[in-house]
Structure 1
């Protein structure tokens, strides 16, 4: 009896055993297919994220940042009108030469609205113990860095042309124009060549401006008129050709003699090739006093002449800031999308390779009944 039970158990085991590999293979195949779908989905997600980063996020970040706040400093010397000597009639000391000059600029963005930024360029000229502030507010396009389009905003100075920087990746062949706040005119920026400043690749430009002084902050420091007797006493200080042109016309002038002023500016600018921000700059400015003689404007003499350049510390700060920003820009515009693209391609490839051909199921093994003896 016992031998018959054992024989029956063995028989049932032999009949069921062939199905075990098939069940295992089915389960394994399902796991492989599931994992391949996950890999394919991840690959598509990585590639989509790379495209989103490169073509959506990067363009939205490739413009004037809303947190811009820099303080470049220029230093140099100047020749200036000595107002105290002028009032005292101290003619030999009316013009002071070789006076140390400092120009402090505070450039910052106070607000943004889409592609428009409200940018400030607060300039303070410090000379002979006096500070002359000249503050300007512009609405600029955050991508082109030119004047923003649309309705002018309250408190914003109308302008056209570049003010605080060039656009990202400036083009040497482009015809950029510069807005000069002293004359309130727009003039061409002349491309000179490329170079390197503090390890940054730069594009060098020159700007030359000449026009009527229109900045009220600067004009307010200059006398609008002088008594005729004082002007006559200043005549020996004038260049010989001006003295000759003035001649006897002085007697025909009103008393006091009204003055107008002309600003002559020259800027040498080294702009970062990636960001367009100034890395180095020289600024020379002359303010020339004029009088009207029989309807003809006669330039008399410069009452202010300054020659300044960015300090070494300002150049180093500008280069360091440009290096940091360009590294971040390169990370999000090139490296991150490329890494995501490679990961996506690898995930897709792994997913399709794992799918492969489905393994054939093992055929069940038939067993003939063996009589038990």
Structure 2
């Protein structure tokens, strides 16, 4: 049966458009939602730092500080990326820089295995940059670099924030401080009170002299602990950390993050650990400018994914189907007698 060449061409083009629709939806769109290899995002956090007042041994009224945080992909291989998180805290005494490196999946932003020869921090399954796309409302884990633990947060509700629908999560965790860059200076500071203990112990008599300065709800427990404590009372350092997150319900990005983290000096007696002095407290939250920036970026990304994932494949598929139908209808050439 003779077929029109134009019909054959239309048929082939129609099939190609139909195949292209599938390729766009199932290949191109997932690649668009991956963590880009050139990711370099920044955010500003407005904070208040309260420190131990050496005259009262309580926390002072607080000093406003700011924290610049950047997340940068330094290496990308396939679906894995090496991510560097840098926080620069602007203090009255100068800037302090804290850097951590993680291996994350470019697909769902969860922890993954680092390439051979690359050293990364074990985030213990906790989130370091973003929740997965279309996040659930199940309990989640968020990594805390101070304690090097993945800390649980619980869903509390869904609301509108900065023009975006967000899932809200909250959690409070107490854990030993594990980051050497944090623990070292803490011990050095306490060693000033009792050089013999190098920040790991404190003479019982020195502890007793500080009891009158303690909050009322701590005095009795400290006195009981001292009854059985050795002359060199062991010290531990813990963090009590509260986190509140507003997570975009579509793309999983943190639109807002607030944190209240208190560093506590504890005394130990046997198996008992008793809070003694609060050394520091940092309260931080995402700045209004950074909230707007994230919300606008997420909205743009969502529009792009919707166009690429729905409208472009739909138009391509419909156009392909139409061309196939036209090709079939016009398949036979017209013979003139």
Q: Is the 8 A contact 2:238 2:264 kept in 1?
A: yes
1:57 to 24, 28, 44: 28
Residue of structure 2 equivalent to 1:105: 69
Aligned partners of 1:298, 1:49: CA distance in 2, in Å?
Answer: 65
Question: Do structure 1's residue 323 and structure 2's residue 302 form an aligned pair?
Answer: no
Question: Gaps (5+ residues) in structure 1?
Answer: 1-29, 363-373
Task: Note closer, same or farther for the CA distance 1:185–1:54 as it changes in structure 2 (3 Å cut).
Answer: same
* Structure number having the greater helix percentage: 1
Q: Cα distance, 1:175 vs. partner?
A: 4.4
Q: Is the 8 A contact 1:132 1:217 kept in 2?
A: no
Question: Do structure 1's residue 302 and structure 2's residue 259 form an aligned pair?
Answer: no
1:261 to 219, 237, 256: 237
Question: Gaps (5+ residues) in structure 2?
Answer: 195-202
Question: Do structure 1's residue 77 and structure 2's residue 48 form an aligned pair?
Answer: yes
Question: Do structure 1's residue 240 and structure 2's residue 216 form an aligned pair?
Answer: yes
Q: Is the 8 A contact 1:212 1:263 kept in 2?
A: yes
How large is the Cα RMSD of the aligned pairs?
Answer: 2.6
Q: Cα distance, 1:231 vs. partner?
A: 4.6
Query: Under a length normalisation based on structure 1, what TM-score does the superposition of the two structures give?
Result: 0.78
Residue 139 of structure 1 aligns to a residue in which SS?
Answer: strand
Count of paired positions = 322
Residue 327 of structure 2 aligns to a residue in which SS?
Answer: helix
Question: Do structure 1's residue 346 and structure 2's residue 317 form an aligned pair?
Answer: no
Q: Is the 8 A contact 2:58 2:278 kept in 1?
A: no
Q: Is the 8 A contact 1:224 1:260 kept in 2?
A: no
Deviations 1:78-117 (A, max 9, x none): 32125xxx4xxxx237642222132221112111111111
Aligned partners of 1:267, 1:76: CA distance in 2, in Å?
Answer: 14
Residue of structure 2 equivalent to 1:122: 86
Residue of structure 2 equivalent to 1:23: none
Q: Cα distance, 1:189 vs. partner?
A: 2.7
Aligned partners of 1:361, 1:251: CA distance in 2, in Å?
Answer: 113
Q: Is the 8 A contact 2:82 2:114 kept in 1?
A: no
Aligned partners of 2:259, 2:217: CA distance in 1, in Å?
Answer: 28
Deviations 1:42-89 (A, max 9, x none): 11111111111111222233322222211111113232125xxx4xxx
Residue 71 of structure 1 aligns to a residue in which SS?
Answer: strand
Residue of structure 1 equivalent to 2:183: 219
2:169 to 195, 199, 205: 205
* Structure number having the greater strand percentage: 2
